Amino acid sequence: PRACRSARRATGPMARNEEKAQAMLNRFVVAKRDANRVDMTKRPYLASECEDVSHCEVYRGQILKELSKKVSLIQNEGLDEHRVRDLNDAINKLIREKGHWERQIKKLGGADHFRTAPRLFEDDAEEVVPGRGYRYFGAAKKLPGVRELFRKRAPEREKRTRFEMMKGIDADYYGYRDDDDGVLEELERAAEEGSLQQAREDWEARKAARLAAGEPADEEESDGEGDGEDARRAERFQEALPDREAIERAILEKRKREMLAMLGGGDAGGAPKHKEEGSINLVPKSW
């Protein structure tokens, strides 16, 4: 036992020195490695300052992690109003920053995340004005002043155009097929029989009144008499009209009288004696 204790005393300080040296060597190696490694913990202020695609991908992954964490936090409706507003602003800022890094990655020849990457956090987000960029997440959509913006208005009734109204018009609208069911036909038959009965009664009443007054019994007879008188009157009128030859003779006689009156010839009346009575009677006196 004494030998062991003496050996332990002899090797104890040496072991501690070796451990210290090993520890110092490890720290030196780690420090050297960290000195040669790019610090990825702090993102550049501008995405355009990074010229390495792999570094851009790392920074984009950091932004996605922060986004996921903040979107999960903002779902808690028990948070204070100012805390919810700060979280919503930070989320929108991270989304814009993610877009900058994705554009830089595409510019450097990397993947096109705008086309290939899934649309994250868009199912929970809502925009007041679509396409303007600012979105509300989680409890931010129920903040005072924001809730009213997302309240859906009652849809206004749109006035139909003439074309839309004409699309619903068919043969039924104009009544072309009203008698297909047989109901209208029965009603028309009953109405027709009633009209005929009423017309028959009126005709019999007028006939009885004419017989009592001594007039012809039938209306057709009285109408025939009137038509015959009109025909005789038209014939007399046609007979009284002069024909073409009589008109020409009358015009010729009138011109002769005018010429004789201008030359001072003829009798006192200015009318020749050889005029035919038939031609004079066939023209009006004013000629």
One DSSP character per residue, 101-139 reads HHHHHHHTT---HHHHS--TTTTT-B-SSTTSS--B-GG
pLDDT higher for 267 or 36?
Answer: 36
Cα-based distances in Å from 111 to 114, 118, 133, 197, 226:
9, 13, 23, 95, 107
C-alpha 25/C-alpha 14 separation (Å) is: 16
Find out whether 97 and 59 touch, Cβ atoms under 8 Å: no
**Nearest-5° angle of CA 18, CA 20, CA 22?**
70
Question: Phi and psi at residue 136, in whole multiples of 5°?
Answer: -115, 135
Q: How many C-beta atoms surround the C-beta of residue 224 within 10 A?
A: 12
Q: What is the pLDDT of residues 121-176, one digit of tens each?
A: 777 778 877 766 788 888 888 888 888 887 777 777 788 888 988 888 888 888 77
Closest CA to 98 of 141, 59, 152, 136: 59
* 46-55, 100-109, 203-212, 267-276: least confidently modelled range: 267-276
Which one, of 90, 117, 123, lies nearest residue 103 by Cα? 117
The DSSP code for 47 is G
**pLDDT(102) > 80:** yes
Q: Output the average pLDDT for the chain.
A: 77
pLDDT at 252: 92
More confident position, 193 or 18: 193
The pLDDT of residue 201: 92
Q: What six digits make up the tokens of 63?
A: 């932004």
Q: Say whether pLDDT at 11 is over 70.
A: no
Q: Please state the pTM of the whole predicted model.
A: 0.43
DSSP-assigned states of every residue in 137-203:
-GGGGGSTTTTTTTPPPPPPPPPPPHHHHHHT--TTTTTTTGGGGSHHHHHHHHHHHHHHHHHHHHH
Check whether 19 has a pLDDT greater than 50: yes
